[in-house]
Structure formats: C-alpha cells, structure tokens
Structure 1
Amino acid sequence: MLNKQIPIISFVGFSGSGKTTLLTKIIAAFKEKGYRVATVKHDAHRFQMDVQGKDTWKYAQAGSDIVLINSQEKLAMIENLAKPISFEEVVSHIENVDIIFVEGYKHESPPKVLLVRRETDLELLPQLKDVIAIATSLPLQLEEVPVYDINDFNGIVHFIETKILGEKKHGSRK
C-alpha cells in the first residue's frame, strides 16, 4: 500500500527530456525552503552501485543477500531481490521526509509532471494517469493541465507546494 502520509510526485518523460536536470533544481529549491526530501530513481537497466574490490562488493560476491554500510553521516543498503518489487514496496522504505520525488515509474499512481521536449512526446499524455502538469520547452497551451516552461522550476515548486502539499508547513518533519 502506498504511504499516504508522505506526498509523492513523479517526473516522467522520454529519455533525454530533462527529468534529472529539472528535478535537481526542484530538490534544491525544496531543501532551501527547509523541507526534508526523498528521491527515488527508477532504472530500467541493471544499475551497479557497489565498487568492485571494495568490502561491500566482496560481501555481496561472497553471497550476502543484503549489504549495509554505515558511517556517521550516511546509511546505504543494497539488497539482491529474489523478484521485482512493486513501486509501493519501494516507497514503503521511506520515512521522516516531507515529500518524495520520483524520476520514472510512468505507469504508477502518483501525481505526475510530464516533461515534453518534442511534439511527439505528447503521445504519452493520454497513456498516463494523474498527469497534473507539463514542463516543456515548447510553446504549448493545454486546457486539461497547467503548462510550465521547463526552466521555470520556481513556478513548478510553487505549484507542487500548493497542489500537493497544501497547508503543510515548510520543513514540518525537520
């Protein structure tokens, strides 16, 4: 079940549409306002976080299903999955933040900001549920959702604060 306590918003679009660039600006703006932020990146490929030859890599190579590393400032966990897990299971691991930003997971249920760089990118719009805004470099005007210039991250931040967070206080879980 999705964590209803923490608001979630996804940034979706085709590869190269600028999702990471826009999201890093939005994360920085939310942090500047005092929010605690979590970010989930969906990777359709097989990512590799552990560095060959390092201790954590050696533990995984030896057969450990879960490897955690902890310092005074960070905690990381790498878990080998027996089967793919759902989006809900992924976000269920997140606690103690004001908002969760997601890059990807086009077909999951959180509200979405669709990034559009080319006219053909608009083909995604009817395929997706819960698109609440579009960020684009094109001169678009749509009636069904608000359209923001892709460089207007402050406008998108304000939209997210009012539409997604509502009355929630800045940095309320700080």
Structure 2
Amino acid sequence: MACHVGFAGYSNSGKTTLITKVLVEFQRRGYRIAVMKHDAHGHYKEAAGADTTSFIDAGAEAVVTLSPEAVRIYERKANPDLQEQLLVLDHYDFVFIEGFKKEKYPKIAVFHTVEQSQIMRVLDPAPIAIVTDLDYTADGIPTFHSDDVQAISHFIEGYFKASQY
C-alpha cells in the first residue's frame, strides 16, 4: 500500500520544485514514487496537433498511449475522486500529491512569502510539516528550509514508519 503525502501551497510557492527534489532523493533511497497533480482550474491541455489531442477533441472517453518507456492515460470523468485515483497508484511506495488542499490526507505546507503563509489557515487538518524560507514557526509542527531536502525526506520516511500509515 502506497503512503500518500501532499504538498499544499498557493501558486508559485515552490511545490513543484520541492516535490522534484524530494522525488530524486526518495528514488536514491530505493523507493518507487508516483506523483499526482491537481489541476483545479482545468488549465492542462494535451499538445496541440498531437494524435491523442485529436482523439480527445473528437470525444473519445479514454485515450491510452503505449510507448517503449511509458503508458499515458487520458480518461474523461466528471468529478474525479482523489481516493479512487490513489488506489490506481497503490503499487508504488509513495504517492506525492500536489494540490488538493481540501482533501483529508497528510500534507506539508509550502510557502515562500508571508502572503503565501495564509495556506496555514486553509489546511484542515493542520499540516504534518512546513517547508518555508521564512522565519516561521507553528506550535508542534516541524518546520524545514526548502533547501534541506535530506531532512524533509527523513521526516517523511519517519512519519510513515511511525504512524504505520
């Protein structure tokens, strides 16, 4: 069963950069990692002119592309459910989730600015950790600098070992 941990923050808070760094470290440690990103505003688009885009634009319910190194799946689905999609990725060791601020799963708050720190008021339950470059503390919540990838990775490992998630 995969361990699920989210990285929550507002736009340009450093979520993608942090996930990328932690992903590399976890792979170095021998883990298999999947990443799921929330596109809350529906901005993601397939590449214009690609065959898969033509199939999607024509109304296909699902498009699966098999290549020597990957499987890419597009499936039309009204109100996709996070928990259902996490089950699909359950054969990985960890699933790193970017976004889904309002879903209930362990999250790490990520922010660079005082304005972005307002994410702390949105997250319920409280995040399991904070990653920021600011001098910021919250009672009982471990805080890490965004460059301290080793410590962040160690914390995530320990969190799931301790909680038997």
**C-alpha contact (below 8 Å) 1:7/1:165 kept by paired residues:** no
Q: CA deviation at 1:159?
A: 0.2
Shift of 1:89: 1.9
TM-score under structure 1 normalisation?
Answer: 0.85
TM-superposed deviation, 1:9:
0.3
Structure 1 distance, partners of 2:26, 2:132, is 21
Gaps of 5+ in 1: 169-174
SS state at 2:24 partner: helix
Mapping of residues 81-100 of structure 1, within 5 Å: 81=77, 83-100=78-95
Q: Structure 1 52/123 Cα, relative in aligned 2: closer, same or farther at 3 Å?
A: closer
Quote how far apart the aligned CAs of 1:167 are: 9.4
Q: Counterpart of 2:128 in 1: which secondary structure?
A: strand
SS of residue in 1 equivalent to 2:118: helix
* 3-state SS of 1:131 partner: coil
Residues 124, 48 of structure 1: CA spacing in aligned structure 2 closer, same or farther, 3 A cutoff?
closer
CA distance in 1, matches of 2:2, 2:69: 23
- Is residue 42 of structure 2 the alignment partner of residue 46 of structure 1? yes
Name the CA distance, whole Å, in 1 between partners of 2:43 and 2:156.
29
Identity, in percent, stands at 32
2:120 corresponds, among 117, 120, 125, to 125
Give the distance between the partners of 2:23 and 2:33, measured in 1 at CA: 7
**In 2: Cα distance, 1:24 partner to 1:165 partner:** 22
State TM-score, norm by structure 2.
0.89
Q: Which runs of 5+ in 2 are unaligned?
A: none
2:105 maps to which of 93, 110, 135? 110
Deviation at 1:15, TM superposition (A): 0.8
RMSD, aligned CA = 1.9
CA distance in 2, matches of 1:122, 1:61: 39
Question: 1:31-72: per-residue Cα shift (whole Å, max 9, x none)?
Answer: 111100000000122244433332222222333110101012
SS in 1 for 2:88: coil
Does the 8 Å CA contact 1:59/1:67 hold for their aligned counterparts?
yes
